[in-house]
């Protein structure tokens, strides 16, 4: 199996500046509605040092787990509740290789303790545009989701790519 550096090089991944992790756009639908693509997809890569900063999107996003170590995905839902999902391939441990995050939910993720890296993909509908992304502000999230304090502290802060 390739190591993390070899995967990044092989897939031509780049730092995802504001959110953290590494990524590459693999598909943007040419068909549009009101000037926005109707779908899109990316590779997304996390290491033991990086995490996906809490963010919210205006479209649905489906995660696909490809390889590596399990990822913990935390959602802060519009109704004030939280949901924690483990992305991975060990179905007996409750992991799932695919998960939908609905538009309007805050989301952030990181590797489970002891993990080295994970290669994921996401598919969005409608497709990603910079205007559909809202970066989570720690203080605001703490006010709106006080029960998620541990997650908010873990998944906000300076973005780390690799």
Query: 37 pLDDT band (50/70/90 cuts)?
Result: very high
Residue with tokens 């290491």: 47
Between β-strands 82-87 and 71-76, what pairing exists: parallel, antiparallel or unpaired? Answer: antiparallel
- What are 88's two structure tokens? 């991975």
Let me know: does 45 contact 120? Beta carbons within 8 Å: yes
Let me know: does 44 contact 21? Beta carbons within 8 Å: yes
CA distance 162 to 13: 10
pTM beyond cutoff 0.75: yes
How much is the mean pLDDT over the chain? 97
Query: 10 pLDDT band (50/70/90 cuts)?
Result: very high
pLDDT at 131: 92
CA distance 127 to 46: 22
Query: 103 pLDDT band (50/70/90 cuts)?
Result: very high
CA distance 135 to 141: 11
């Amino acid at each position: 199996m390739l190591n993390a550096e070899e995967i990044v090089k092989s897939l031509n991944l780049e730092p995802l500046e504001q959110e953290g992790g590494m990524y590459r756009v693999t598909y943007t639908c040419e068909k549009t509605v009101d000037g926005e693509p109707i779908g899109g997809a990316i590779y997304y890569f996390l290491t033991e040092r990086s995490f996906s900063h809490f963010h919210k999107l205006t479209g649905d996003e489906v995660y696909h787990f490809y390889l590596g170590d399990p990822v913990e995905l935390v959602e802060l839902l519009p109704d004030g509740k939280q949901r924690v999902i483990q992305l991975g391939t060990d179905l007996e441990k409750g992991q799932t290789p695919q998960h939908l995050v609905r538009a309007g939910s805050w989301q952030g993720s990181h590797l489970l303790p002891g993990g080295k890296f994970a290669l994921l993909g996401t598919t969005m509908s409608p497709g990603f545009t910079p205007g559909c992304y809202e970066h989570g502000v720690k203080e605001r999230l703490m006010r709106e989701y006080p029960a998620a304090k541990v997650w908010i502290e873990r998944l906000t802060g300076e973005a780390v790519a690799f």
